[in-house]
Structure 1
Amino acid sequence: MIMLDTTIVAIAQPQLQANLHTSLSLVIWASTAYMVAYAVPMLFTGRLGDQYGPRIIYVSGLIVFTVASAWCGFSTSISMLIAARIVQGLGAALMGPQTLAVVNRLFTGKSRGYAMSAWSAVQGSATLLGPILGGFFVSFLNWRWIFFVNIPIGLIAVFCALRFIPHFAGHSHRFDLPGIVLSFTGLTALILTIQEGTSLKAPAFWALLVGAFALLTCFVLSQLRQNEVLIPLRLFRNRDFSLSIAALVLSSLAVNAQLIPVMYYLQRVMGMSALLAALTAISMPVATVVLARFVGKTIARLHPAAILTPAFLLATTGSLILQYAMNPGRSTLLVTAGYAVFGVGIAFVWPPLATYSLRRVAPTDHGAASGIFNTMRIVGGVIGMAAMGAIIEMQLASLGSGGGQAKASAVLSPGPYRTAYSRVLETSTWLPVVSFAIGAVISLGFAFGKTIGPNEEK
């Protein structure tokens, strides 16, 4: 449910924009607000799991998430929806780090590679299946059901968690309240700067940007001066952990950024229904699920660079195919083909990163490391969505189309405007292409220096 709700709203954005009478920028905030509220608290909710045990924290978050999902479904305005999504994100933040921490405690050696592959396959598939399920609900019911569906799932999950998740002893920790405040305000200011930058006047833009970096700098300095911190910076001395986090941010940025222009292109330019648009991209989650077991075997046998560099290059190729496909004169089968290549690449990116990031981490730091991993994955996605929204808004404004207020009927009108709109969306896809390409370069870093081999374990 956590990862499903990071992307399920993407397919419903045109409907939300029309039904709630709002702008593209505010509709994207319905996604980014959830992701910010999910990402930042994970820096300390991971520690909560370390201290009180992952099961109780997971169940608490699940209850908050389920109640907030009902609130989202009953929202009557974009502001009400954004508020509900923030609470939903807080529930997700309580759950997220506990899942990875439990997997790390239950499995060791080669079995951990398989378990991580399964964990990543579920996470990745949920992220990628979000638009498909969203398309089904929007086409046959309405957008509210993309949230109502969480209610029965949440109730079943509470029962299963209490029944099947074992109890693990906790470790005592102090909580860094100043760090929590600084990280939350700093990241929120940074994302606000990226997403709303095109609508801000120069003084306000630069003030917000400088303020964001000042807050984040203060956060880093605070982490250097305390013993009990949100982010144990010593973890970044582990080269595998640092490289994994950098590659993770770029891949998450690219995947989340890619969804917006492709879904708008298929629905607004090509006139597809929400469900048909989502099914056009089904090759991506299918590739991820089908390859999950093979990926687990690969992690156990090959060097990180031998897996990650080709995987990032495949994802880059898939993004380039998607970019080429975004032309009204070309077959939408190219979109399916592009997503298939894209999906194969991602299938070999996320599971290895989850495995390699934690191989040298002490068990007492698993919660904190898992929190950092999950936080940075979501932060990358938030930045990707915010940046993509800003890029599209800026280009539409230059066309005089009214940006986020442009109506679907105008976008679908024949002639030069339709062609220009598709060109805007096509150009915006350079963001994921470049992000994946940089990820390929970073993954080469695993080839240098000492890296734990496929059969080694801390």
Structure 2
Amino acid sequence: MIEERRAWKALGALSLGLFVTLLDQSLVAVALPAIRADLGATLNQSVWVSAVYLLTFAVPLLITGRLGDRYGQRNVYLVGMAVFTLAAAACVFAPSIEWLIVARAVQGFGGSLLNPQPLSIIHRIFAHDRRGAATGVWSAVASSAGLFGPVIGGMLVGWISWRAVFLVYVPLGVISLVMVARYVPKLPTGTSKIDWLSGAVSLLAVLGIVLALQQGPELGWGPLVWASLIGGIAGVVLFVWMQTKSKAPLMPLRLFQTHNFAIGAFSIFGLGFTVYSVNLPIMLYLQTAQGLSSQLAGVMLVPMGIISVVMSPLVGRLVDRLAPGMISRVGFATMIGSMSLMVVMMVSNVSPWWIVIPIVLLGASNAMCFAPNSATALRDVPQDLVGSASGFYNTSRQVGAVVGAATLGAVMQMAVGTVSFGVAMGLAIAVTLVPLACGLFAVTRFK
């Protein structure tokens, strides 16, 4: 551990890059209608602009978390931010939708390299009784990034163009590189091997599942789609079996002997599924079904981001004092209420201004879910497993985001043309109630 004042500076430096990579997942959602019109993309292609980023972001996380242990979290973070920034520059000048999708895949991989590192560093530089407060800041960044994306994106798209959405990453990426190089300390590294074969199996497993969910509506759910889905599920089973045999597992099974980690890793899947996927149907609903401009649609989500940012650090401090799971239960219940209310309003086609109510509730529930879940899940993980724990925890969140984006995208594509556009968006959001209910049940088991 280092002196606490320096630890907070390091956290601030890391949080900027974390904010930028997670901001992307909602920022680009606002630009999709403009991208689709400008580049002549189909609905499926435009969805892939977001989905491919989530895919290449999520799949390597088990490996990139271990890379931080072996080569240094600071070093891997810097490489990841450099890749992310260069790929963002390539997106700015994309001449076609295919070019843009490829550049987005590279950008997602850069985000995957840097994303697990902050949580590992927090648990190495902060004292045990300060990790709740530090994780609260991390959670404020992780949860609010997705909420501010539509606001910033709406303004950039409306005032300049969709290309400005990617251009803004370049200076922010450079600033992050300089700050991390200056403030984040070099920490001791391990020498453990990396199970690349397991990593390849996890990649193919998630790829098979996401491809099936994403392409099913377009291909008519034929034999190839079902083969992809079944193959992906079989890949997950094979990956878990391989972890029991590997001498250097990417997912050490003794991680799950820490009861609260097992609960937290399960429940974060539901949060990732919901928080990082609902922005697309919300923004499409406001802009297409209700006819709002991208700027006004973005402004409507401002209360969500502000509430989440203000509440998260406060909630993080409470986590150090209250019984585990108390705040999480309230948070999950509030998020379920928010999503349910949003579904009713979209299906009923009420005035778009009523949507502000569930938006406010979503901001509050974000703060009450992310910070307590992260702090409780990782607080008691053995020190030698922190890197693996951070990698798996982030993987669970991001795989949730990938599956959520693919699932909601599939529902939207199947529903559009069958029911009204507003009802289609409401049906997509209704899907999130299932993983949220499972998450609520899980956090009642925190000890």
> What SS is found at the alignment partner of 1:326?
helix
Matched with 1:42 is 61
Alignment of 1:322-337 (within 5 A): 322-326=342-346, 330-337=350-357
Shift of 1:327: 5.3
Matched with 2:169 is 150
Q: Does 2:42 correspond to 1:11?
A: no
Measure the CA separation in 2 of the matches of 1:33 and 1:185.
14
Q: Does 2:430 correspond to 1:437?
A: no
Alignment of 1:85-96 (within 5 A): 85-96=104-115
Distance 1:36 1:329, change over 3 A: closer
Shift of 1:329: 5.0
Matched with 1:241 is 261
- Indicate conservation of the 8 Å contact 2:212/2:225, yes or no: yes
Matched with 2:327 is 307
Residue type at the aligned position of 2:357: A
Q: Does 2:163 correspond to 1:163?
A: no
Matched with 1:388 is 408
Q: % of aligned pairs identical?
A: 33
> What SS is found at the alignment partner of 1:128?
helix
Residue type at the aligned position of 2:421: Y
| Cα distance per residue 1:54-95 (max 9 Å; x no partner) | 111111111111101101111111111111111111111111
Shift of 1:357: 1.6
Query: When the two structures are aligned, how many residues end up with a matched partner?
Result: 427
Matched with 1:405 is none
> What SS is found at the alignment partner of 2:156?
helix
Shift of 1:397: 4.4
Alignment of 1:7-86 (within 5 A): 7-86=26-105
> What SS is found at the alignment partner of 2:247?
coil
- Indicate conservation of the 8 Å contact 2:26/2:280, yes or no: no
Residue type at the aligned position of 1:392: M
Shift of 1:358: 1.1
Distance 1:427 1:263, change over 3 A: same
Matched with 1:347 is 367
- Indicate conservation of the 8 Å contact 1:245/1:357, yes or no: yes
Indicate the larger mover: 214-223 or 325-334. Answer: 325-334
Measure the CA separation in 2 of the matches of 1:327 and 1:182.
41
Matched with 1:126 is 145
Of residues 131, 135, 155, the one that matches 1:116 is 135
Matched with 2:421 is 421
Query: Under a length normalisation based on structure 1, what TM-score does the superposition of the two structures give?
Result: 0.90
Alignment of 1:169-180 (within 5 A): 169-180=188-199
Matched with 1:375 is 395
Residue type at the aligned position of 1:268: T
Q: Where in structure 1 are there 5+ consecutive unaligned residues?
A: 400-419, 452-458
Q: Does 2:216 correspond to 1:197?
A: yes
Matched with 1:403 is none
Measure the CA separation in 2 of the matches of 1:327 and 1:307.
31
Of residues 354, 357, 374, the one that matches 2:377 is 357
Measure the CA separation in 2 of the matches of 1:83 and 1:131.
23
Residue type at the aligned position of 1:143: W
Residue type at the aligned position of 2:279: L
Matched with 1:136 is 155
- Indicate conservation of the 8 Å contact 1:257/1:431, yes or no: no
Measure the CA separation in 2 of the matches of 1:149 and 1:38.
19
Alignment of 1:204-283 (within 5 A): 204-283=224-303
> What SS is found at the alignment partner of 2:262?
helix
Shift of 1:45: 1.2
- Indicate conservation of the 8 Å contact 1:288/1:346, yes or no: yes
Shift of 1:33: 0.9
Shift of 1:175: 1.2
| Cα distance per residue 1:240-262 (max 9 Å; x no partner) | 11110111001110122321221
Residue type at the aligned position of 2:361: V
Indicate the larger mover: 347-356 or 195-204. Answer: 195-204
Show structure 1 runs of 4+ deviating over 6 A: none
Measure the CA separation in 1 of the matches of 2:235 and 2:439.
27
Measure the CA separation in 2 of the matches of 1:178 and 1:397.
43
Distance 1:138 1:257, change over 3 A: same
